[in-house]
């Protein structure tokens, strides 16, 4: 692997968490602060990734097993890491990635009920152990997230609510295992408040100026760090989620 000098940030969350628009705002804020940022999404951003994304999300593709899904998502990620993420990090850039390995763990592992320990090992090895320095998990209850998504749902969004509840619980379990890397933000707060939390956390971590050590997935679970939970702030009205287009990404 090329020497890593940049800083790698991922945004994660269930449907309707507003993560993609938060990712865009974060990129804008970092650029305004004079940082060089590569903005990508997983799956997507590479030619192969865009094709895989169409296959994976197309509502007409039926009967795909969770394992097939997982391996296709991982394949797209390998390409993304090699083609865009590693070269950008080697140049000292900040990489902001909309979803990454934790999505496979939450959606296919917990949601699809695959063997999560196996998936953790395979998924990490496939990308040479390149894990984010910081992951912002925008958490929203399943029902509230669905209300935000509306009626036009892709293949993943059409899965049963039980699947989406499992994946949300899966995300929170991942955050308990790696509380330093994965910060949970209450995404039911007003959009501007969520953006403030996201930017504060990222800017604080960047000022620390060091890359966090890779956590051993076998470490004992600890409570996740939750920012802006019920105790920390008012729950705001539902926010509208604008769907990103492919043009929003790949601005390297
Ligand atoms: P975005 O629209 O947030 O880019 O996500 C695309 C979908 O792909 C999303 N579900 N929906 N709708 C989550 C799903 N996904 C997985 O299931 N596994 C993965 O590994 C990744 C990266 C995404």
Before 17, cis peptide (omega within 30)?
no
Helix intervals (H) in 64-212: 66-80, 86-90, 101-104, 116-126, 142-149, 161-177, 191-208
Residue-wise pLDDT tens digits, 195-249: 999 999 999 999 854 444 434 343 444 566 677 765 434 444 444 444 555 565 6
Task: For 39, list phi and psi in degrees, rounded to 5.
Answer: -115, 120
Q: Tell me, what's the pLDDT at 212?
A: 41
For the chain, what is the mean pLDDT?
86
Name the helix (H) or strand (E) containing 138. strand 134-139
Residue-wise pLDDT tens digits, 164-195: 999 999 999 999 999 999 999 999 999 999 99
Q: How far is the CA of 103 from the centre of ligand 1 (A)?
A: 7
Domains of the chain, start order: 7-251 (3.40.50.300)
Q: Could you give the percent of the chain with pLDDT greater than 90?
A: 69
Yes or no: say if 57 and 155 are a contact pair by the CB < 8 Å rule. Answer: yes
Distance CA 174, CA 100 (A): 13
Residue 43 Cα: closest atom of ligand 1: 22
> Best of 99, 108, 114, 167 to mutate for ligand 1, by most ligand atoms within 8 A of CB?
99
The verdict on the CB of residue 249 being under 6 Å from ligand 1 is no
Torsion angle in degrees (nearest 10) through CA of 102, 9, 2, 123: 0
Which residue did the predictor score with more confidence, 24 or 243?
24
Q: Which residue has tokens 């949601």?
A: 111
Distance CA 81, CA 205 (A): 22
Q: How far is the CA of 229 from the centre of ligand 1 (A)?
A: 25
The verdict on the CB of residue 107 being under 6 Å from ligand 1 is yes
Tally of residues, the chain: 252
Average pLDDT, integer, range 15-36? 95
Max mean pLDDT among 60-69, 81-90, 202-211 falls in: 81-90
Q: Tell me, what's the pLDDT at 245?
A: 59
Q: How far is the CA of 220 from the centre of ligand 1 (A)?
A: 28
């Amino acid at each position: 692997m090329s020497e890593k000098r940049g800083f790698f940030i991922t945004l994660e969350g269930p449907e309707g968490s507003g993560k993609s628009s938060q990712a865009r705002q974060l990129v804008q804020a970092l650029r305004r602060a004079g940082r060089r940022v590569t903005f990508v999404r997983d799956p997507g951003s590479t030619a192969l990734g865009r094709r895989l994304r169409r296959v994976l999300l197309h509502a007409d593709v039926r009967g795909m097993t969770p394992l097939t899904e997982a391996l296709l998502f991982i394949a797209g990620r390998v390409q993304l890491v090699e083609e865009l993420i590693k070269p950008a990090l080697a140049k000292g850039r900040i990489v902001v990635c909309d979803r990454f390995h934790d999505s496979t763990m939450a959606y296919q592992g917990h949601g699809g009920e695959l063997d999560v320990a196996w998936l953790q090992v395979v998924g990490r090895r496939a990308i040479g152990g390149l894990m984010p320095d910081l992951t912002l998990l925008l958490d929203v209850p399943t029902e509230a997230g669905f209300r935000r998504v509306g009626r036009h749902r892709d293949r993943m969004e059409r899965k049963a609510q039980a699947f989406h509840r499992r994946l949300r619980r899966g995300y929170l379990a991942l955050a308990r295992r790696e509380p330093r890397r994965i910060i949970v933000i209450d995404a039911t707060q007003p959009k501007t408040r969520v953006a403030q939390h996201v930017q504060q956390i990222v800017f604080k971590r960047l000022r620390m100026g060091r890359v966090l050590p890779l956590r051993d997935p076998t470490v004992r679970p600890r409570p996740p760090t939750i920012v802006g939970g019920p105790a920390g702030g008012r729950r705001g009205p539902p926010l509208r989620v604008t769907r990103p287009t492919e043009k929003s990404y790949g601005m390297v």
